[in-house]
Amino acid sequence: MLLEGSPSNPSQLIDPMQKKVSKIGVMTSGGDSPGMNACIRAVVRTGIYHGLEVFGITRGYAGMIDNDINRMDSRSVANIIQRGGTILKTARCKEFMTKEGRAKAYENLKSHGIDGLVIIGGDGSFKGAQIFSNEFDIPCIGIPGTIDKDIAGTDFTIGFDTAVNTAVEAIDKIRDTADAHDRLFIVEVMGRDAGYIALHSGIGTGAEHILIPEKKTDVEQVLASLQEKEKRKKLVNIVVVAEGDDFGGANDLAKVIKDRIPGFDIRVAILGHIQRGGSPSSMDRLIASRMGYSAVECLLEGKVNVMVGIVNNKMYYTPLDNAVKAKQKISEEWLKIVKILAS
């Protein structure tokens, strides 16, 4: 049965000729994100509950090619829900981009009898899954595990909430020292192609400016605003910059501001990979568990090549083709909120 909020055409999701799965593989691919372990745990225990054999594939597609595939049981995933990273490891794999590499991966899956896959990762991982499934007729279910929240078809991605909370905690501490010294801090957060971490952490910490890849940066406007604040003797300012902002990162922006407004005492803080690690938030543990459970249910119901998402608190299934083509967009309302609250 399709849950409310799913695409209206069932043929997009369910293959009536799909044989019932009996052995499934689970893997994490691409960048790690807090909550991946909670998702692995949910997949393994839901599969075992339904009488399936579950195999963990170490290092994503690279492990599939190297036959680094091992049977998992309930004890395999004990005491991991609170841990960041991924017990299955993750890696990039150029060999999987070749037909020969995918054929080798398929033979390894076949040797274990694996007839269904759950892939926890981002759009690059889903592209690989889509091609692989089309070539070898193995049903794949994608689960969005990325701190960037840049995948369409879901309100949440695993790891985003934790990454934002990590950034907020860091920026709050930075504001304390900025206040003590009357400084302008430019804080760079992750987000090469998407500005959600910058947007949410910036709003959550009362940043004076938030620069994101989705909106072209008007440096002159930023400078004019800071000059106006300098005249008002408002010397404590936080500017949050996504690493993929079109103007450049925090260091590039700091140089321009220093040249044009030498009166500001400027410091740069680049948060970097601290945002990827750490114990997942309760939100990430919950959505990861819910998505992992639903992914196994999808395979049992015969759904093929879909991404499991959550939209308006209901499970939502997006064909992998659509998930990899579309990007989550930042609404104009969010941008308006930033402008009003930072004034």
Reduce the DSSP state of residue 23 to 3 states and report it: strand
Pairing of strands 306-311, 209-211: unpaired
Residue with tokens 């900025």: 178
> Distances in Å between the alpha carbon of 281 and those of 86, 164, 288, 333?
15, 10, 11, 26
Question: Active site residue: 148, 150, 245, 284, which one?
Answer: 148
**How is 29-95 classified by DSSP, letter by letter?**
-SS--TTHHHHHHHHHHHHHHTT-EEEEETTHHHHHHTT-EEEE-GGGGTT-TT--S-TT-----SG
Can you name the residues that pair with 71 across neighbouring β-strands?
A: 55
The answer to whether 313 and 299 have CB atoms below 8 angstroms apart is no
Query: Which candidate, 138, 102, 152, 82, places its Cα nearest to that of 310?
Result: 152
The answer to whether 109 and 25 have CB atoms below 8 angstroms apart is yes
**Rounded to an integer, what distance in angstroms lies between the CA atom of residue 66 and that of residue 68?**
5
**Rounded to an integer, what distance in angstroms lies between the CA atom of residue 159 and that of residue 35?**
6
Nearby residues of 79 by Cβ (< 8 Å), 6 or more positions away: none
- Reply yes or no on whether 155 is catalytic: no
**How is 160-208 classified by DSSP, letter by letter?**
HHHHHHHHHHHHHHHHHHHHHHT-EEEEEES-SS--HHHHHHHHHTT-S
> Catalytic residue positions?
148
